[in-house]
Amino acid sequence: MSDARQSVEMAAPPAAVYALAQDIARWPAMLPHYRYVRVLEDSGTQRLAVMAARRDWIPVRWVAEERLRPEIPRIEFTHRGGWTTGMEVAWVFEPVANGTRVTITHDLSTLTRPLIRSRWGRQLIAEFFIQPIAGRTLARIKSLVEGRHE
């Protein structure tokens, strides 16, 4: 397993979805499973942040560098700290007939911690942490952008 990938179609234009997704400082207010996001540096197109979420009752924390590419549109993250150090993440916003398909790809081949880089480690991280957290993130952004505030 080298990638963990999830896609969701949202009934909204790419620019609207991108605007919500890129604003990581607001994620804890928008996404109930996020405990906090502390932006340490912000240049306008690049941010460094400490991010913390919950996978059910299990707290997880990491440091990520976010790079904004609105002209594509695409959001890229490199994990700089935590168990997933080195992981590259990309959010891609593709126009479709009824809105936008958002795909999040986590490149597990770029993980740097030896135990986590193992096949077992990548599978555990992908199935137990990445997929549930990213799935909740996509579902909530879909709900918000489509105007259903569940």
Q: Measured between alpha carbons, how far is 11 from 90 in angstroms, rounded to an integer?
A: 21
The pLDDT value recorded for residue 115 is: 84
Residue-wise pLDDT tens digits, 42-73? 999 999 999 999 999 999 999 999 999 999 99
Walk along the chain (150 residues) and give the pLDDT tens digit of each residue: 678 999 999 999 999 999 999 999 999 999 999 999 999 999 999 999 999 999 999 999 999 999 999 999 999 999 999 999 999 999 999 999 999 999 999 999 999 998 888 889 899 999 999 999 999 999 999 999 999 755
Residue 94 belongs to domain spanning? 3-145
The pLDDT value recorded for residue 148 is: 74
Q: Are 77 and 89 in contact (CB under 8 A)?
A: yes
Q: Count how many domains the chain has.
A: 1
The pLDDT value recorded for residue 1 is: 61
The pLDDT value recorded for residue 11 is: 97
Asked if residue 150 is part of any domain, the answer here is: no
Q: Residue 14 is inside which H or E element, if any?
A: helix 14-22
Alpha-carbon dihedral sign for residues 1, 69, 36, 79: positive
CATH number, domain of 32, equals: 3.30.530.20
Q: Which residues make Cβ contacts (< 8 Å) with residue 107, sequence separation at least 6?
A: 2, 3, 87, 88, 89, 90
The pLDDT value recorded for residue 150 is: 53
Asked if residue 64 is part of any domain, the answer here is: yes
